[in-house]
Amino acid sequence: MSTGTALTIPVFYCPIPPANRPDAQDVEQKALEWITEMGAYADGRRLDALAAAQAGIVIPQAMPHAFPDRLQIAADFMYWGFTFDDCHFEEGALGDRPGEAIEFLGTMSRVVEAPWAPLLPANPWARALRDLRRRVDACATYEQSQRWVCGMQTLFSGLAWETCHRGRGVCPDVDTYLMIRRGSIGMEPLTALNDLVDGYVLPGRPSCTGGRTWTTSVPLPARQPRLGRRITLQFESGSIRVLNLRTKSSWPLTSTWARSKPISTRR
């Protein structure tokens, strides 16, 4: 039996020390209970898988200094986003039906903008979204609230665009995929909560984009020099860079190789 070559995993570079919260598990449990009470998961198997994933635990780890009640908003939103995408698009009936998806997402966009509007009264995610909007408004400035609403509408727009490509069986080029992913990944509404949950205000920040940095991992159809089968992209103030976490190097997306590589819309 051959033992092969030992795999060496490089140390992940992060200069910020961890800051764990003692109430992290409690926040996670409350988020799971909240999405369950909203009726989002009637399927026991799916609920068990959701509980095992512990999606909400990321929030107290990422926002260790947040006020507890405001932190719960962000954790609940994390569960809302996971279940909304899974049940309607990733595993749901709308994933490859762009016409129906656009109508539904357009209606959800109006729900978050005008929660008093009598739209989708029986939909658990619309009901949960109204609850999130109410709680955001209770502790946010007008600008913070509108920034979050705008972020939600960016999410809905990205999901609609993604569904259009799936429905047509079209594989987008890198530029198109990045614009789709920027919306469908859901980082706009999540990062819009940063200053709100920590209890401070950043005046004059743009409503939708700018002033934030986030990364995403993107699959490639074939192994590429220096990168392998996936690339990590960093978005900051409208610019996009490719990151190599192993060598701690980066270069602009405008490199010739990146512009010519199609990628999959499947996560």
Predicted TM-score of the model (pTM): 0.72
User: Residues 104-122, buried b or exposed e (16+ Cβ, 10 A)?
Assistant: bbeebbebbeebeeeebee
- Stretches where the chain sits below pLDDT 50 are 206, 208-213, 237-238, 254-267
Q: Are 53 and 59 in contact (CB under 8 A)?
A: no
**Contact yes or no for 32/50 (Cβ under 8 A):** yes
Q: What is the pLDDT of residue 257?
A: 40
Residue-range domains of the chain with CATH: 24-194 (1.10.600.10)
User: Any idea of the CA torsion for 130, 137, 53, 161, to the nearest 10 degrees?
Assistant: 70
How much is the pLDDT for 197?
94
Q: Give residue 209's pLDDT.
A: 43
